[in-house]
Amino acid sequence: MNHEQVREFLDAYIDTELDVVTTLHFENHVSECAECRAIVEQYQQLHACVKAQFPRFDLPVRLEDKIRTQLRSAQYDQRARTARRDWLPRWRAWSLAASVGIVIAVGALLLQTTNRQSRSQLLAEQAVSDHIRSLMANHLTDVPSTDQHTVKPWFSGKLDFAPVVKDLSVAGFVLAGGRLDYLDDRPVAALVYKRRQHSINVFVWPSTASDSGLRTTTIKGYNVVHWTQSHMTYWAVSDLNAVELQEFAHDLEK
């Protein structure tokens, strides 16, 4: 240790604030250097004089506890403020993520609902178009018959399913026959019934959807009733009034 370092560490040495190693180096230099030793002795005398002449005040016993309590409180407040600062961005991020998730979920639900409605509307329009075409081409039936035991076997081997054919003549809906048609990108069964001068086309094919109640709509002046039953989907189309067409659908459901 040199003269400059002794002067740098002098105050700390007098107040016994130096570590052991630095203290040893300091004292070794002072013991060999008369100039530095004189300066150190002067500082020691001044320190002793100040300590002896100035009054000493003893701190109240509870002061240390109060100071420590306030320090802990300040540290707690600081941590709380830091936690709030850290939590606020996370809360905003979580809130934003939750909002985005809700928007996506609602959007997906609306999209699914819209897709289902669009597909249902498309099938209804196709069913009406097929109904009109059968009337215009005078091709209501491939197998004209009022006997359900004649109409149902006729579809055997022509379709990959067996449609249910009912005799509803007692209810005023007379079976007129059946034919093959094409809907929903596949061959389907078209059952034809008569109510006075009105023709009713019932398009039938398999479905994976669960059973559903009657749904009605009107397209181009034609009434349409749709329902799903026993893994089969039904679309009834006619210019018959909506009330009687629904009665027909209820009878066919039984």
Contact assessment for residue 225 and residue 245, using Cβ atoms and an 8 Å cutoff: yes
> Do 33 and 128 fall into the same domain?
no
Question: What's 171's DSSP letter?
Answer: G
Q: How confident is the model at residue 3 (pLDDT cuts 50, 70, 90)?
A: confident
pLDDT value, residue 107: 52
Residue range 186-206: mean pLDDT, rounded: 97
User: Is there a single domain that holds both residue 154 and residue 247?
Assistant: yes
The whole-number pLDDT of residue 81 equals 65
- pLDDT tens figures, 130-157: 999 999 988 999 999 999 999 999 999 9
pLDDT classification of 119: cutoffs 50, 70, 90: confident
Cα–Cα dist 254/250, whole Å: 7
Least reliable range by pLDDT among 3-7, 18-22, 58-62, 206-210: 58-62
138 and 216 housed in the same domain: yes
Token pair belonging to 93:
């991020």
Task: Report yes or no on 123 lying in a domain.
Answer: yes
Residue 90 lies in a domain: no
Residues 243 and 129 in one domain: yes
Q: Phi and psi at residue 248, in whole multiples of 5°?
A: -60, -45
The pLDDT value recorded for residue 102 is: 65
Write out the residue range of the structural domain in which residue 190 sits.
Answer: 113-253
The encoded tokens of residue 36 equal: 């530095």
**pLDDT for 40:** 83
Where do we find the tokens 């400059």? 4
Do 127 and 34 belong to one domain?
Answer: no
DSSP assignment of 71-83 equals: HHHHHHHHHHHHH
Residue 223 bridge partners (DSSP):
218, 238
Residues 247, 241: Cα–Cα separation, whole Å: 10
Is 68 inside any structural domain? no
Mean pLDDT, residues 215-240: 96
What proportion of the chain, given as a percentage, has pLDDT over 90?
Answer: 49
Q: Is residue 181 part of a domain?
A: yes
What CATH number has the domain bearing residue 217?
3.30.200.100
* β-bridge pairing 232-238 and 198-206: antiparallel
More confident residue, 197 or 76: 197
Q: Could you tell me the maximum CA-CA distance found in the chain, to the nearest angstrom?
A: 137
Residue 65 pLDDT greater than 80, yes or no: no
Provide the domain count of the chain.
2
Q: What confidence tier does 169 reach under pLDDT thresholds 50, 70, 90?
A: very high
The answer as to whether 108 is a domain residue is no
Query: Do 42 and 121 have their domain in common?
Result: no
What single-letter DSSP state applies at residue 57?
-
Q: Which of 12, 36, 53 is the last residue of a domain?
A: 53
The tens digit of pLDDT for each residue in 69-96 reads 777 776 666 665 665 566 556 655 556 5
User: Does one domain contain both 157 and 226?
Assistant: yes
Is 82 a member of any domain? no
Task: Examine the fold and report which residue of 18, 34, 53 is the final residue of a domain before the chain moves on.
Answer: 53
In a domain, 85, yes or no: no
Identify whether 86 is part of a domain. Answer: no
- Residue 113 — very low, low, confident or very high, per pLDDT cuts 50/70/90? very low
Beta-strand pair 222-229/212-219: antiparallel
Are both 221 and 153 inside the same structural domain?
yes
Q: Are residues 49 and 118 in the same domain?
A: no
